[in-house]
Amino acid sequence: MTEVLNFSGITPSHILALNAPQGSSSTSKYTLYPIHSAVFAANCSKFPILPPAPASPTSNTFKLPTVCLTVPSPENFGFLSSYIYNKDLETLRSLILPNNWATDVSVVVQKALAVRGLWANACALGVVEDELFDALEQIWEQVMQAMTQLTAPVSSSLS
């Protein structure tokens, strides 16, 4: 059994300012995520070496180094971050596909983009956990099945 560390009471070490690659359909906005660099370095073989973090804060105000990082899908980084911290595939599955998620084609398309974005981010950062990729494959199959059901022609029983 894998022990999961709880970092909820530990001050983050850095702020990631995520953006998409140039030429992608995303805008040039940055998405900010507080992280613990050691957690990401331990789970992502391609994670960059970050500048040193400050010593533990001694007051309620402190500065964290902000590091710009380009990832394929900044808008879906939260799914990967959640998994890296919690290592809980069921929680990840429910974050991506909550109850009654397959309501219409536009929602299913959003879910397909989220799964693809999570997969692309995991590949870009060098996550090498078969369990994650197996779960993403299963989630992808559910999304494709929902798309097939929602776009299937309605059969008429009238002859």
Listing DSSP states for 82-97 in one string gives HHHHH--HHHHHHHHS
Is there a domain that residue 123 lies in? yes
Q: Is residue 75 part of a domain?
A: yes
Q: Is 2 inside a domain boundary?
A: no
| pTM, full prediction | 0.85
Q: Are 59 and 114 in contact (CB under 8 A)?
A: no
Q: What is the pLDDT of residue 131?
A: 97
Render pLDDT for 46-87 as a digit per residue (tens, 0 to 9): 999 999 987 766 667 778 899 999 999 999 999 999 999 999
**Residue at 54 is within a domain:** yes
How far is it, in rounded angstroms, from Cα 131 to Cα 147?
24
Residue 119 lies in domain? 14-151
Assigned domain for 5 exists: no
> Is the separation of the CB atoms in 95 and 79 below 8 Å?
yes
What rounded mean pLDDT belongs to the chain?
89
Does 29 map to a domain? Answer: yes
Average pLDDT of the segment spanning 114-123: 98
User: Quick one: DSSP state of residue 74?
Assistant: G
Res 43 pLDDT > 60: yes
Cα(108)–Cα(93) distance, rounded to whole angstroms? 14
**Which region among 19-23, 49-53, 101-105 has the lowest average model confidence (pLDDT)?**
19-23
Per-residue exposure over 87-110, b if at least 16 CB sit within 10 Å of its own CB, e if not: bebeebeeebbeeeebeeeeebee
What pLDDT is stored for residue 155 in this prediction? 67
Task: For residue 147, name the pLDDT band (cuts at 50, 70, 90).
Answer: very high
Number of domains in the chain: 1
The half-sphere exposure of 59 on its side-chain side, counting CA atoms within 13 A, is: 3
Lowest-confidence region among 5-14, 97-106, 113-122: 5-14
159 or 65: whose pLDDT is higher? Answer: 65
pLDDT given for residue 3 in this prediction: 43
Nearest to 73 by CA among 28, 116, 32, 13: 116
